Structure 1
Amino acid sequence: MNHLPDPHEGAVERPVPDVSIVVPTKNSVRTLRRCLESLRAQTLPCHVVVVDNHSTDTTREVAALLSDIVFVAGPERSRQRNLGAAATQSPVIGFVDSDMVLSPSVVEQAKSAIDAGAGSVIVPERSVGSGYWARVRAFERAFYVDVDGIEAPRFFSARLLASTGGYDETLDAGEDWDLGRRASRAGRVERITALIEHDEGQLTYLQACGKKGAYAAGVARFADKNPGALWRILLHRPYIRHPWLLLDQPRLGAGLIALKLGEAMAVVVRLLLAAATPDRPRG
């Protein structure tokens, strides 16, 4: 079990709002400003902690303008999130990615749910972006709203988060599902209605498949840690159980089939390559 680290050495104690948001970044300048501006526009003020993984663009400069704490740490987002959580004393902690934009009442609704007894809170997400494959991704994500086991919580009571040990730092994929499973055993999970937009940008087919392939080893580690969970997540998707739903928008449905096949092939290829390559220490 992981243990959340002590607060980062550079963190300064100061009065903070009831909610802190941790944003892990790495070369995120394209999307970070909109993300942080959406946090500053919340109906309930929040404390913003950016943990940057050694960006080589101007990510940290943008973060310094719009966040309360910025520090540099890696090697992966699980470690970044745990460090960010440890840098604040807020009773409610949220985690968002740097390519996400929150609607104005997300933080307020999440805090209200936790004040009412929830241990963790799921925020529905929708994808936005340019081009055909971004529309396919948005079509896919729309199937996942309100589906147990696929959506993962993004807000937690600090007490519950500490009791679970936070994000598993051995996982660089599936870490949100893994924490969500532990959080659901430790306390009640609630959903809110306010949305998060996930900015896919100008998504291409090869980018989408390549990203999935890059996560192959991490997903395999998640599956090893949570026997049977990955298959339940995959098979519980509405378009798998009810494939005729893809006919509602045939052009996007055909694209989703092609996308899932391409992603599966990318995962298989990466796993085969990993099996044929001598083990190297993970950095």
Structure 2
Amino acid sequence: MTSSPLISIIIPTLEEEKILPRMLAQFTNEVRLRYNLELIVSDGGSTDRTIDIAKEHGTIVVTNPGGEKENISIGRNRGAQHARGDILIFLNADVVFEKIEKFFSLVKETFRDPQLVAATCNVNIYPEEQLLRDWMFHNFFNAYFWLLNSIGMGMGRGECHIILRKVFQKTGGYDRKLAAGEDYDLFMRLRKFGKVKYLLSLTVFESPRRFRKYGYIWITILWFLNATSVLFFKRSVVDRWKPIR
């Protein structure tokens, strides 16, 4: 049984054969039918089994044409171009839902609000790998982003963006020049069209791989530098996040 609206899940990938199976396995046939989902993997030029894995899980696969140098903004935009859903949900390839059925039920309910244009939610580290410093860091930023949304300065981390397709198209999507800070830039533009909501009761989990490699201090510095550069100069400090696999 399906119900309207159709929701398009867009997952940008690059060399994600190790982590993608767990992510896609959450989308059982029952879940896809119940919540009327389509899955799109937008691949940036993987040479491992990423594309094969995506096809094995019944997703729509779109690839990088002509070997263009690609960042995550380009990958997300390309996925959105192939999407048919009224609601677009951009997820990173390592995302795991705390409760997948609760997630999509609340998304559908929340987007009945005609003034709502976008939403985001809590992000934490996989429970089985979470350390105290992970919990402290992520919950601090969860609270920070909740506060920004509460005072009308809509914002969300890139792990999970939920956006009305028609509004996404009006904004022009993610700025293809931005390899980082693209989430901040897009949400600044989205809030000109309506409300952005922080779904405090929903959580997605991510891999700690980047935090383990670079540490929280360096990651925080990069976030700050990229956000500042995007705000004042409309460009990111880095031209590409280095893949960590």
Shorter-chain TM band: 0.7 to 0.9
1:122 paired with 2:120, answer: yes
Contact 1:119 1:160 in 2 (8 A): yes
1:55 paired with 2:74, answer: no
Q: TM-score, normalised by structure 2?
A: 0.74
Cα distance in 2 between the residues matched to 1:164 and 1:206: 33
Number of residue equivalences: 215
1:70 paired with 2:81, answer: no
Higher RCO, 1 or 2 (CA under 8 Å, sep at least 6)?
2
Partner SS for 1:162: helix
**How far 1:111 moved relative to its partner?**
2.4
Cα distance in 1 between the residues matched to 2:169 and 2:129: 41
Q: Does 144-153 or 74-83 show the bigger shift?
A: 144-153
Partner SS for 1:30: coil
Task: Pick one of 143, 148, 156 that aligns with 1:151.
Answer: 156
The answer for unaligned runs of 5 or more in structure 2 is: 240-245
Cα distance in 1 between the residues matched to 2:104 and 2:93: 16
1:198 alignment partner in structure 2:
206
Q: TM-score, normalised by structure 1?
A: 0.65
**How far 1:218 moved relative to its partner?**
5.2
Partner SS for 1:24: strand
**How far 1:91 moved relative to its partner?**
0.7
Work out the percentage of aligned pairs sharing the same amino acid.
20
Contact 2:20 2:93 in 1 (8 A): yes
Residue correspondence of structure 1 range 65-104 to structure 2 within 5 A: 65-73=56-64, 75-102=70-97, 103-104=99-100
Cα distance in 2 between the residues matched to 1:76 and 1:202: 17
- Residues 79, 29 of structure 1: alpha-carbon distance in 2 compared, 3 angstrom cutoff: same
More strand by share: 2
The answer for unaligned runs of 5 or more in structure 1 is: 1-15, 231-266, 272-283
**How far 1:54 moved relative to its partner?**
0.9
Residue correspondence of structure 1 range 127-146 to structure 2 within 5 A: 127-128=125-126, 135-145=132-142, 146=146
What letter is aligned with 1:44? Y
Cα distance in 2 between the residues matched to 1:114 and 1:187: 12
**How far 1:65 moved relative to its partner?**
1.5
1:174 alignment partner in structure 2:
181
